Amino acid sequence: MMAKQVQQDQLYIGIDGGGTKCRATIYSKQHGVLGTGLGGPANPLHGLERTLESIMVSTQLALQDAGLRVEQVHELNAGMGLAGVNLPALYDKIMQWDHPFQQMFLTTDLHTACIGAHEGQDGAVIITGTGSCGFSIVNGESVNYGGHGFAQGDIGSGAWMGLEATKAVLLDLDELGPTTRLSGTFKSHFNTLTAMGIAEQMAGQPSSVYAKLARLVFDAAEQQDEVALSIVTQGADYISRLAKRLLENNPPRLSMIGGLSEPLNKWLDPEIAKLVELPKQPPEMGAIYFAIKNVEQDLIKAN
Amino acid sequence: MMAKQVQQDQLYIGIDGGGTKCRATIYSKQHGVLGTGLGGPANPLHGLERTLESIMVSTQLALQDAGLRVEQVHELNAGMGLAGVNLPALYDKIMQWDHPFQQMFLTTDLHTACIGAHEGQDGAVIITGTGSCGFSIVNGESVNYGGHGFAQGDIGSGAWMGLEATKAVLLDLDELGPTTRLSGTFKSHFNTLTAMGIAEQMAGQPSSVYAKLARLVFDAAEQQDEVALSIVTQGADYISRLAKRLLENNPPRLSMIGGLSEPLNKWLDPEIAKLVELPKQPPEMGAIYFAIKNVEQDLIKAN
């Protein structure tokens, strides 16, 4: 009787790991979303221990929020989207984890974001936040472009814009490049009058710190600053090319996700901008769809 | 008698600290160079303890090479050029060091390189190796441009070229940028067929690792690869602008120092290229001239 009930209304947990937080959502097909939880950083490329800890924290909070008992973690079918698990070594390491779930299905954060955006259906996504990349899944085939990391890739991302702006300001202050109103903005922002004062504060900073400068670039572009316009246009052109590359695979939908999708939109190729549709569901729901699909496939195989 | 002899033929040590090694040269005006020593990394921005240790190792080796006794370290007037001591906090920290020398005179590595290149006279230098920057000293006034560090500054440097080439290859392999023969070269160099394979190996690498790719860019430029030509030309154009900026102060001489000065030369603005003269002495001799000048000024003040 119990086994049958479980089979009829399996419990799922969708986990979306990110560089700053980890989101977990508990769901059943009959009752929909039962509860959610928020944990700390969960990017295994920046630390596996921390990632697993954040997954457990968000899971426990989601169980509590759903009014479930702590032990019911063993009843959860987990779908999980994490950065970097396209690397077989990292995938294997996480799959070797002595996890508490009934089952665990692991894929990349891009994959779950894409599944979420299109409510489990085929489609393509472009993610532009601190970093940037493109992903599509069509008829079971996935491809991804970009996402090569700061400072060598991730064109059009917040970190890229912040870095390009910093380079331009340092050139201007040395009188070795075009003048830009960004120089005045940066002087105030960094509370310094010199190029060296800015360079020192930014040297060795992670991409997240550069990404915080992106809004200054958009502001200056709005004010028709040539240098800022050139940065925003270059970034948006890359994102438009990325979109066209993804469209070659004929995904039925295209969404943009991340903090820069809204400010970038008006700078995109108009042909692309009009194709972009809002994501239907967040990545943690994508992780749930991923788990459901795997559980149901296993059931089909078992019968 | 002894005191008089010391005054007549003071012992000097010139120390040039760098990111990978520390060079020390012992010198007297009467006898010229008495001995040299080579120590480990001595960039205080990457570690003060290590820097002081490398300074002492190179000093001891130079004393030994000069046939002097270990205790004679107390007779040495030290001139020292170190990165980052333009920052008052770092300058003060090193000056607070309980050093074993008779006296210690501290300045930036740029300053000693410039004094060395022009044998103690006024002049300008451009340094292009892993990083890049410009420095001039004319009538006691020094200025410097660039040198803002990887990845936000140091245009035209080895690390900058390596990064630009990596960006171009990743774009090409994603079919989101122009094709370049650098892609084939990088695939062999990194023993991988994919953009992600290259991105993973370069992610988070220090500037020195990017700088090692610079020679591949020069090779491809020689073979008329458009992308490599554009990188080398952009880098050389910046160095030419940097030179013109330094020439505004009317330095009597201009030298280029560092691993990229030779390969870059043919790509410079011909007006600049023909002005560039070879450095007369290495930076550690510049550090000696710096110490001599300070000791002699102190003597004048004392009399």
Chain B residues within an 8 Å CB radius of A145:
174, 176
Do A259 and A293 belong to one domain?
no
Task: Name the residue among A149, A196, A241 with its Cβ closest to that of B203.
Answer: A149
Structural domain contains residue B71: yes
| pLDDT value of residue A87 | 81
Do A93 and A13 belong to one domain?
yes
Structural domain contains residue B131: no
Q: Are B100 and B73 in contact (CB under 8 A)?
A: yes
* Other Cβ atoms closer than 10 A to A230: 15
| pLDDT value of residue B87 | 81
Structural domain contains residue B243: yes
- Domain of B97, CATH number, reads 3.30.420.40
Each residue of B25-61: pLDDT tens digit?
Answer: 999 999 999 999 999 999 898 889 999 999 999 999 9
Do A112 and A187 belong to one domain?
no
A195 touches chain B (CB under 8 A): yes
B195 touches chain A (CB under 8 A): yes
Structural domain contains residue B44: yes
Each residue of B120-169: pLDDT tens digit?
Answer: 999 999 999 999 999 999 999 999 999 898 999 999 999 999 999 999 99
Structural domain contains residue B201: yes
Instruction: Give the pairing of strands B254-257 and B276-277.
Output: parallel
Do B167 and B95 belong to one domain?
no
Do A23 and A10 belong to one domain?
yes
Does residue B114 carry a pLDDT above 70?
A: yes
Cβ of A145 and B200 within 8 Å? no
Does residue B7 carry a pLDDT above 60?
A: no
| pLDDT value of residue A286 | 97
Does residue B260 carry a pLDDT above 60?
A: yes
Each residue of A7-31: pLDDT tens digit?
Answer: 568 999 999 998 889 999 999 999 9
Does residue B2 carry a pLDDT above 60?
A: no
Please tell me the distance in Å from A145's CA to the nearest CA on chain B: 6
Helix residue spans in A223-277 (DSSP H): 226-247, 261-265, 270-273
CA distance B23 to B54: 9
Chain B residues within an 8 Å CB radius of A157:
none
Does residue A38 carry a pLDDT above 80?
A: yes
Task: Name the residue among B86, B176, B245 with its Cβ closest to that of A242.
Answer: B176
Best of B90, B136, B152 to disrupt the A interface (most A CBs within 10 Å) is B152
Residue B230 belongs to domain spanning: 158-277
A196 touches chain B (CB under 8 A): yes
Q: Which two tokens stand for residue B297?
A: 């000024």
Grade residue A171 by pLDDT with cuts at 50, 70 and 90: very high
Please tell me the distance in Å from B247's CA to the nearest CA on chain A: 13
What percentage of chain A has pLDDT greater than the value 90?
87
Do B271 and B288 belong to one domain?
no
Structural domain contains residue B12: yes
Do A105 and A38 belong to one domain?
yes
Does residue A3 carry a pLDDT above 70?
A: no
Across all residues in chain B, what is the average pLDDT? 94
Please tell me the distance in Å from B295's CA to the nearest CA on chain A: 30
Note if the bond before A89 is cis, omega within 30 degrees: no
B213 touches chain A (CB under 8 A): no
Measured in whole angstroms, the distance separating CA B36 from the mean position of its chain's CA atoms is 18
Task: Name the residue among B146, B170, B241 with its Cβ closest to that of A153.
Answer: B170
Best of B45, B148, B245 to disrupt the A interface (most A CBs within 10 Å) is B148
Give burial (CB, 10 Å; 0-12/13-18/19+) of B106. Answer: buried
Give the number of domains in chain A: 2
Each residue of B199-242: pLDDT tens digit?
Answer: 989 988 989 899 999 999 999 999 999 999 999 999 999 999 99
Grade residue B88 by pLDDT with cuts at 50, 70 and 90: confident
Do A224 and A286 belong to one domain?
no
Do A286 and A247 belong to one domain?
no
Structural domain contains residue B141: no
Structural domain contains residue B142: no
CA distance B9 to B24: 19
Q: Are B132 and B156 in contact (CB under 8 A)?
A: yes
Cβ of A176 and B149 within 8 Å? no
Do B266 and B287 belong to one domain?
no
Does residue A2 carry a pLDDT above 50?
A: no
A202 touches chain B (CB under 8 A): yes
Q: What ipTM was predicted for this assembly? A: 0.87
